[in-house]
Structure 1
Amino acid sequence: MAASIEARHTQTGWLLQPCLQLAPLDTERADAVLADISASALELDLPRVVGLLSADSGARRFLASIFGLSPFLRDLARRQPQMLDMLFEQTIAQRLAAIGSEIKTCWKGEGVSENELMQRLRLLKAQAHFLIALSDLAGEVETQITVQRLSLLAQQCVCAAVAFLLAELGQQGKLALLYPDDPGRDSGLIVLGMGKLGAHELNYSSDIDLILFFDHRAVTGDPMEATELFSRLARRLVRILQERTAQSYVFRTDLRLRPDPGSTPLAIPVQAALTYYEARGQNWERAAMIKARPIAGDMEAGAAFLEELRPYIWRKYMDYAAIADVHSIKRQIHAHKGFSQIAIRGHNVKLGRGGIREIEFFVQTQQLIAGGRFPELRGGATVPMLGQLAANGWITDEACQTLTRHYWFLRRVEHALQMVNDEQTHILPEDDEGLERIAHLLGFADRTAFSTLLRHALGEVESHYAALFETAPELSASTGNLVFTGEGDDPDTLQTLHSLGFQRPNDICRVIRIWHFGRYRATRSAEARERLTELTPALLEAFGKTRRADEALMRFDEFLSGLPAGVQLFSLLHSNSALLRLMVTIMGTAPRLAAVITRRPHIFDGLLDPALLSELPSRAYLEARLSAFLEGDRSYEEILDRLRIFVSEQKFLIGVRLLAGAIDGRRAGRAFSHLADLAIDAALVAVTAEFERRHGRIKGGRVMLLGMGKLGSQELTAGSDIDLILLYDHDLDANDSDGEKPLAPAHYYSRLTQRLIAAVSAPTAEGVLYELDLRLRPSGNKGPVATHIDAFRKYQRQDAWVWEQMALTRARPVAGDSMFSMQVMVEIDGVLSQPRDEDQVRCEAYDMRRLIEEEKPAQDFWDIKLAPGGLIDLEFIAQVAVLTGHSSARSTGQPGVTSTFDVLAGLAPDYADAAMREDLVQAYQFYASLTQIIRLCLTGPFDREDVPPGLVDLVLRVSDMPDFSHLEAELKDRQAQVRRCFERILHRHKE
């Protein structure tokens, strides 16, 4: 049959000798296509083509089939039937050689413009593309010849464009070119072909991957401007090659395989590149460099550059570090082990299971391990290296033959997919007609025969590929690819990330590539990047479970960006699953805590304490640690900065205990309050000592700080401000202070207070210690910031409003002179014990609560403090009870009790019966648990529509509710119950 076809072709004089006879999908449609092309040939006076397309011959049937199956080739033939006519005089090989010669010189000539060059390259590339496809589909040459022809075509086009650009720079005087007819020679510009172009394995509609390096030997101007000069050249090169014009494009061009493409210029100085690869080069970049070769510009300089990189690419000894290095690449891809059948429809023959990438990776991993010792394993082409691996005993002959056979078959499939519409696709059609089209292009009788062979090939490739993973430990139970090499996004990886719970997988890929490029201090070392690569699958799986995975991982990225080093952290997270879960919980549920460790990454060190969750943050515990933290002779500024560091770290660790369930909301409130007491006291001591250096002391002077509000009642949250009143006393005959700059007592203590406010609240490089609020002092903002004890006594006994005395029920000494503090508390107890008109107190408290509701209404029932029946109602009930003598907690036997919980628990029966008292205590505990968690995690209000899902889980845990609807119902019921109690206790009843 083949002989008769050849005879008939010879009779026509047409020089293409097809070895395959393809069948069209629709004979009538194929005939119509030929008639259309024949009409174009007739218009251009090409009688030989008209005759070829009219005669009943094998050539006609072959052309009818391919033009019916490939709209792209059909349109090329219709526009340029001359390409068919030329094959009456030259074989395809001869014609391709002639086109190559034309490309080589098309940049030359007087007045050749960039646009003219672009047009010439597009026309010549289209002709070559057409002829390469004809030869491939005809079976005239093996597939390895097709990929070599495509690679040579791309190299010729790049060479012509680069020569044109260099020559133009030479004519402009910006480069001193030694060889104007060969501008690249000794120009210092290195153009590396990467990937399939570098390996002479380009596919039919492939992008071409280039990297441009340079030294400034030919630059005539300032060498410092060389980067911009060659980067402009790179931009123009990309435009010449890939910009779509009326004549289509030459090659889509990708420059993203250069070192750290997100932060480097398009053309990189040679020395900078060498430094990068030696210090920060990644595993996948080693693999990519296996295929690199100089294709344009200064070829000798390119070869020398790769020679310098040889020790980086090829490690001399096959030691454990090298094997771990390769395994860290392998573990980025999950190997499917054949447990399910491979679907043909929609399968990606490049990246999918059993695809081309798996064969390439199979070869490259072996090369990376052994290429350092065996130079014969350093080639870039896949199939020759399979043969060499078999010759050296690294793989079996059977594996070599199987993978070689399937590699070329899959490459043919890849080409057929791309020849249909000149699309850079590797995905098989989903529909029957599409699969039938590909089967016919490959010479199969139908899609069933094609699918059977393809499934067999994919399965065998997968089996050999999976063997690479048999000794690699599993790090994650997730399924799917996790590939973050290069700059482009792997489609299967995007799908895997989406299935793990990420909504923006492209952004996640970009972030992880930043880690692997070593742009952060924590990931600059090769060891850190290896540890992070090992950790990444488990990290992604853990973050995926937070239900707002993207935000959580972005917070982790912010944390990582500020971390000074990463090896220890990555190792710990990898070996300690509890620590990993805790980190993920913080990032996924607690933006406030995440922001703390993002600003201060060293705080994370506190989590490494093995006793963290077992040791409770009592006052004694915190005091011992603060004392150790401040020990030694330190300046005033150092003390204040260390206080900020200590408070920030301990707030974080208290919060972690609360998140982990090691302490409850009430204990957290006390811990936050103990911490504030100690820090404010230490700040007062430091400020006083510094102040006395200049202004001396007041005779008999004594100072104390009253903690008010939540600090006074020991109910602080992670986000609470500090309410304080500074009281002082001195001898009656005291005049000015005895220092270098004496001050009168009132002025002295006002200045001291202002200094304290600045020391505590002013932002520094270490942040703010606490925000202070002194508005609860006598006369509020109108009164002096420091109050003499006599003025305080007189005001509270004669002038204070009921609401001010309610606030006084929570007053507690937190710093200062201990004897003076005791006297102040005796005075406060005396004030609180004064006889009062009970009805008037209740009425004023009730009116004040109503005024708050009018002027500052709750946003919704999740505003637990302000909502009707919320925390303020409970606090008012407790404060009125103290003022009217209805709480045993503030009886003469227990002075100084300020906790709202304790006061409510001690309510007198005539104020609230046992059932009401129990309801109020339980409501307070419920509110405190919710408030502590919410304030720990959020910096703003609790927005039900925008709350992190992880926080929802936490509030359900602390409230012991099964789901959010039950929690909301419980919260509303508690608020209604508290409001009923509030009305019953405080509402004044008209007679």
Structure 2
Amino acid sequence: MGDNAIKLRDVGEDVIRPQSQTEAKAVTALLKELARDDAALAEVMNGNGPLKPFLIAALSLSPYLRDIATISPRLLTTAITEPLEETLRRMIDGARACWRPREGRTPSEAEVMASLRIAKRSVSFLAALADLARLFTARDTTCYLTLLADAVVAASIDHLLLAAHESGKMVLKNPERPSEGSGLIVLGMGKLGGHELNYSSDIDIVVFFDPESGILPDPLDGSEIYGRMMRRLVRILQERTADGYVFRTDLRLRPDPGSTPLAVPVEAGLLYYESRGQNWERAAFIKARAMAGDIAAGEWFLRQLVPFVFRKYLDYAAIADIHSIKRQIHVHKGHGAIAVKGHDVKLGRGGIREIEFFAQTQQLIAGGRMPPLRTRQTKVALEKLAEANWITSEIAAELTEAYWFLRDVEHRIQMVRDEQTHSLPETEAELKRIAFMLGFPDTASFAVRLEGVLRTVEKRYARLFEQETKLSGVEGNLVFTGQQDDPETLKTLAALGFHRPSDISRVIRTWHYGRYRATQSVESRERLTELTPDLLKAFGESSRADEALLRFDGFLSGLPAGIQLFSLIGNNPALLSLIVTVMSAAPRLADIISSRPHVFDGMLDPGLMAELPTRDYLSERLRVFLMASRHYEELLDRLRIFAAEQRFLIGIRLLTGAIDGAQAGRAFTDLADLLIEQALAAVEREIEGAHGRYPGGRVALMGMGKLGSFELTAASDVDLILLYDYDDEAFESEGPKALDSTRYYTRLTQRLIAALSAPMAEGVLFEVDMRLRPSGNKGPVATRIRAFRKYQQEEAWTWEHMALTRARMVCGEASLVEEAQAVISDVLSRRGDGGKIAADIREMRDLIEQEKPPRGIWDLKLIPGGLIDIEFIAQYLRLVAPGKGLAVDTNGMSTDEALEALGREMLSADDLATMREALRLFTELSQIIRLCIDGGFDPKEAPVGLVERVCRAGDCPDIRTLEGEVKRLSKAVRAIFRKLVS
């Protein structure tokens, strides 16, 4: 960056031009509109200088920049009147200082978030215009974007530390400089570490902390305090608000991200890298840089890692992972051929990644003996390699020029709509947009230049590996080309844990031949090729690796497209172990991700396993997710999308043991409550729009069964009763298409059932069961509250009162909810005939046993002494409690909570403990089985991963021991049932 004051007015003639006259006219009209209130812009628009056509071209080529100019016209004024570099530095300095107390008041988190977002938008706008005007080079742009990232992360960290200090959770050494001496280390990785951020980049950071830094009251609380702080950091930086977002933030480059907190203690980090660090992590730490928090501590930490990253001796074996990927990508002619349309300029052949690999592999090999090679920036690394005579100066210059050209292309791709993509458009029209943004007169000349650069990079990258002959002899070949198995590859597969390496080799060749829809495109095959080594290693470590990988193969064969999923897995290595778990244990979840790959998006949240899916957690996410819904059908579709994603994420937490069966039941139920509430509100709006409001109309929904007792599973339907009331003097609704009360509430109920259970593009929300309403299927679908009260008090059978013990008001008008709850309380507080209740329950259980006998010992609901017996005992206790002088309200409780509340007075301590032990085990097993498979569980037929998971859930070493536990407990429960209900 130069010292001269660069201004946008310095732009030359015909630097860029609009893609079409239509867009140019629209932008011209916009600029003239904005110029009415802006003298500086008016001067530009009324003049004949080069700035006017440049602005028209820039805003027409980039909808993103056009949107910013529309939202923030003052930014446009700033851009055309003020020195660019000085202004950018001022904006970045402002962002860095936004945490500081002003006028005696510390800014709130919302204020800090707003300041950072405005800074991001402003810097992005000015940097893009300067870049498009060729006043900045790609190097300038990446530098300013990195400086911004440094500033916003550092400001966020200082804000969070100060907030912790002010709340008493820690005592800072100097509140005016919160990070100093804090021992909180924030390392920028990848392009952030190398001062090379791309225009729409996410940022990779790794966080360590020193628990002995002296600021924590109790050093043992460090992981919890800093873990919460990092979740807030991610929220501050990447949550989308009205002001946009700052940076998508990735913390997954930390040690063992699947099992470590978001902030890792320093000693644990050093121990990990010393004993378990991987070669890919060595490559990643080449670019690591202390960029926020305690900078001095961060630099000390990186110095400790130098022996790990840069070894003393020539280390050819260290790049075996990169080499195996390279061998697959380049193993035969025509595979992944260089193209222009759709080409990924980062990961594709001849792309940015190959230049980075070219430099990094040689830095790893020789950096231990040649300290000058230990540099973060790709350009500098190439220069140092040439100075060390490791490569020629010609190659260094060639690759440096290629690198910055490809970075220019990458920036233009991302400037169009601020999307984190590296792929050129597939269409001629959109490719023309990119060519014009780069200053080319047409797509043909751009294509010639791009292809030349890509071929140069490809040639240099390939020759690097060909020249290093030792690399071709490393152990661990993974080659899947031709018709015959590669002998060394079969040895590698066997060593990885596969018992049938030839079959596995054949399967993987099928992937690379493009015989599945998911692998038909060149880009999909390239992404899958890069993923294959890690994929095989992960599957190889699972039990019955062959079976798990073959299930993954079946999953691939049914995918309509693969690029999205492969990119997701490839960019997020932590997801791989979860995929292996799903494929080895949960075919039902595998089917879900086959049909709805978008469910994986939620797994990118770094706090997924740490945060419980509470009602508040789900409610906030649903609120944000529904904000964009504009009409009824869109809202229902978005409810289905949200339901599928959150059910899947709850299921993943259950499968991995992050939550237990009871927590899963509550989470599935909380999710159902929220979705049903939104669906009811939407249906009411639709009915009122068509038929008007019903005078005095009130509606409420009662949840029954597992919905009422917070025990839904991943596959449960929902039992509902719709209650309503209205003014007695009203005979019809007030709308243009008026309806009488019966038809009005019947239609509302039918619309609600359709909203929940009708198949739509995104599937079904819930199957709805309304048979528990008064008179069952023969009665009206909606029930007036007074009819419900009369029926429950005068006509209901014992089994209906049993069902009422699990009833819970899910949503609706507050006064009607209260009235319905009063009906439930009144009915269940009456003294019943204990003998008749017991006889009715016994008769009902006998009938179920006759009509629906259990399918075996693993039919945990229906077996004698299974879940139905336990639920019936809890219901029996609730119905006879008033007759024993007990006033215990169990509505809104789970079966376990109801047993605990009632059993203390009505059961022996041993019987209560037995019942609760059985309930916990049967619930845990049922939740996992219903999550993982459809239909019954047979250990001989079930996936081995599922068998292992249920054994782990039952804390048993094998399935036979677990079966013995189920038999022991079910026998004990049946004995208690007979003793009580006799």
**Matching residue's letter, 2:952:** R
Partners of 1:560 and 1:465 lie apart in 2 by 39
User: Deviation of residue 566 (structure 1)?
Assistant: 5.1
Residue 956 in 1 paired to residue 914 in 2?
Answer: no
**Matching residue's letter, 1:907:** L
Structure 1 segment 285-684 matched on structure 2, within 5 A: 288-289=332-333, 321=354, 467-469=471-473, 481-490=477-486, 493=489, 497=493, 508-517=504-513, 529-544=525-540, 545-547=542-544, 548-558=547-557, 561-565=560-564, 568-573=567-572, 576=573, 578-632=574-628, 634-684=630-680
- 2:754 corresponds in structure 1 to 758
User: Deviation of residue 850 (structure 1)?
Assistant: 1.1
Partners of 1:683 and 1:495 lie apart in 2 by 56
Partners of 1:939 and 1:568 lie apart in 2 by 29
For residues 270-306 of structure 1, what are the alpha-carbon distances to aligned partners after superposition, in whole Å with 9 as ceiling and x for unaligned?
Answer: xxxxxxxxxxx99769654499xxxxxxxxxxxxxxx
Q: Is the 8 A contact 2:699 2:816 kept in 1?
A: yes
Aligned partner (choices 960, 968, 972) of residue 963 of structure 2:
968
Partners of 2:523 and 2:360 lie apart in 1 by 13
Normalised by the length of structure 1, the TM-score is 0.51
Partners of 1:316 and 1:540 lie apart in 2 by 23
Residue 913 in 1 paired to residue 917 in 2?
Answer: no
Q: Is the 8 A contact 1:522 1:565 kept in 2?
A: no
User: Deviation of residue 531 (structure 1)?
Assistant: 4.8
User: Deviation of residue 496 (structure 1)?
Assistant: 5.4
**Matching residue's letter, 1:739:** G
Structure with greater Cα Rg: 1
**CA 1:676/1:486 → structure 2, altered by over 3 Å: closer, same or farther?**
same
Normalised by the length of structure 2, the TM-score is 0.52
Partners of 2:607 and 2:860 lie apart in 1 by 33
Unmatched tracts of structure 1, length 5 or more: 1-280, 292-314, 329-368, 374-391, 397-463, 471-478
> What RMSD, in angstroms, separates the aligned Cα atoms of the two structures?
3.7
User: Deviation of residue 605 (structure 1)?
Assistant: 1.2
- 1:352 corresponds in structure 2 to none
- 1:773 corresponds in structure 2 to 769
Structure 1 segment 258-297 matched on structure 2, within 5 A: 288-289=332-333
User: Deviation of residue 558 (structure 1)?
Assistant: 4.7
- 1:784 corresponds in structure 2 to 780
Q: Is the 8 A contact 2:706 2:712 kept in 1?
A: yes
Q: Greater CA deviation, 860-869 or 897-906? A: 897-906
**CA 1:617/1:394 → structure 2, altered by over 3 Å: closer, same or farther?**
closer
Q: Is the 8 A contact 1:712 1:812 kept in 2?
A: yes
Structure 1 segment 744-893 matched on structure 2, within 5 A: 744-885=740-881, 892=887
User: Deviation of residue 580 (structure 1)?
Assistant: 1.6
User: Deviation of residue 802 (structure 1)?
Assistant: 0.5
Aligned partner (choices 919, 923, 927) of residue 928 of structure 1:
923
Partners of 1:893 and 1:807 lie apart in 2 by 16
Secondary structure, counterpart of 2:811 in structure 1: strand
**Matching residue's letter, 1:967:** L
Aligned partner (choices 719, 722, 730) of residue 723 of structure 1:
719
For residues 162-195 of structure 1, what are the alpha-carbon distances to aligned partners after superposition, in whole Å with 9 as ceiling and x for unaligned?
Answer: xxxxxxxxxxxxxxxxxxxxxxxxxxxxxxxxxx
Q: Percent identity?
A: 51
**CA 1:766/1:627 → structure 2, altered by over 3 Å: closer, same or farther?**
same
Structure 1 segment 160-239 matched on structure 2, within 5 A: none
User: Deviation of residue 654 (structure 1)?
Assistant: 0.6
Partners of 1:688 and 1:918 lie apart in 2 by 46
Unmatched tracts of structure 2, length 5 or more: 1-324, 336-347, 362-394, 400-462
Partners of 2:613 and 2:680 lie apart in 1 by 22
**CA 1:887/1:863 → structure 2, altered by over 3 Å: closer, same or farther?**
farther
- 1:97 corresponds in structure 2 to none
**Matching residue's letter, 2:714:** A
Q: Is the 8 A contact 1:811 1:898 kept in 2?
A: no
Q: Is the 8 A contact 1:887 1:907 kept in 2?
A: no
**Matching residue's letter, 2:354:** A
User: Deviation of residue 638 (structure 1)?
Assistant: 0.3
Partners of 1:720 and 1:566 lie apart in 2 by 28
**CA 1:918/1:656 → structure 2, altered by over 3 Å: closer, same or farther?**
same
User: Deviation of residue 501 (structure 1)?
Assistant: 5.5
Q: Is the 8 A contact 1:873 1:978 kept in 2?
A: yes
Q: Is the 8 A contact 1:590 1:951 kept in 2?
A: yes
User: Deviation of residue 552 (structure 1)?
Assistant: 3.0
- 2:706 corresponds in structure 1 to 710
**CA 1:850/1:502 → structure 2, altered by over 3 Å: closer, same or farther?**
farther
Secondary structure, counterpart of 2:564 in structure 1: coil
Q: Greater CA deviation, 676-685 or 919-928? A: 919-928
User: Deviation of residue 692 (structure 1)?
Assistant: 1.4
Q: Is the 8 A contact 2:939 2:959 kept in 1?
A: no
- 2:941 corresponds in structure 1 to 946
**Matching residue's letter, 1:941:** G
For residues 845-900 of structure 1, what are the alpha-carbon distances to aligned partners after superposition, in whole Å with 9 as ceiling and x for unaligned?
Answer: 01111111111000111000000000000000000111111799x96574633311
**CA 1:978/1:631 → structure 2, altered by over 3 Å: closer, same or farther?**
same
Partners of 2:641 and 2:516 lie apart in 1 by 23
Partners of 2:941 and 2:727 lie apart in 1 by 58
Partners of 2:486 and 2:527 lie apart in 1 by 22
**CA 1:863/1:679 → structure 2, altered by over 3 Å: closer, same or farther?**
same
Structure 1 segment 70-109 matched on structure 2, within 5 A: none
Partners of 2:825 and 2:732 lie apart in 1 by 32
Q: Is the 8 A contact 2:714 2:927 kept in 1?
A: yes
Partners of 1:489 and 1:622 lie apart in 2 by 50
For residues 482-523 of structure 1, what are the alpha-carbon distances to aligned partners after superposition, in whole Å with 9 as ceiling and x for unaligned?
Answer: 321134444664575467565776664454335434577876
Partners of 2:796 and 2:840 lie apart in 1 by 13
- 1:260 corresponds in structure 2 to none
Partners of 1:288 and 1:579 lie apart in 2 by 30
Q: Is the 8 A contact 1:658 1:665 kept in 2?
A: yes
Q: Is the 8 A contact 1:761 1:770 kept in 2?
A: yes
Q: Is the 8 A contact 1:555 1:587 kept in 2?
A: no
**CA 1:668/1:908 → structure 2, altered by over 3 Å: closer, same or farther?**
closer
**CA 1:483/1:741 → structure 2, altered by over 3 Å: closer, same or farther?**
same
**CA 1:721/1:556 → structure 2, altered by over 3 Å: closer, same or farther?**
same
User: Deviation of residue 698 (structure 1)?
Assistant: 1.3
Secondary structure, counterpart of 1:562 in structure 2: coil
Q: Is the 8 A contact 1:563 1:602 kept in 2?
A: no
Q: Is the 8 A contact 2:328 2:478 kept in 1?
A: no
User: Deviation of residue 844 (structure 1)?
Assistant: 0.9
**CA 1:648/1:395 → structure 2, altered by over 3 Å: closer, same or farther?**
closer
Q: Greater CA deviation, 696-705 or 638-647? A: 696-705
Partners of 2:883 and 2:357 lie apart in 1 by 69
Partners of 1:843 and 1:317 lie apart in 2 by 79
User: Deviation of residue 549 (structure 1)?
Assistant: 2.2
User: Deviation of residue 535 (structure 1)?
Assistant: 2.9
For residues 719-748 of structure 1, what are the alpha-carbon distances to aligned partners after superposition, in whole Å with 9 as ceiling and x for unaligned?
Answer: 111111111111111111112211110111
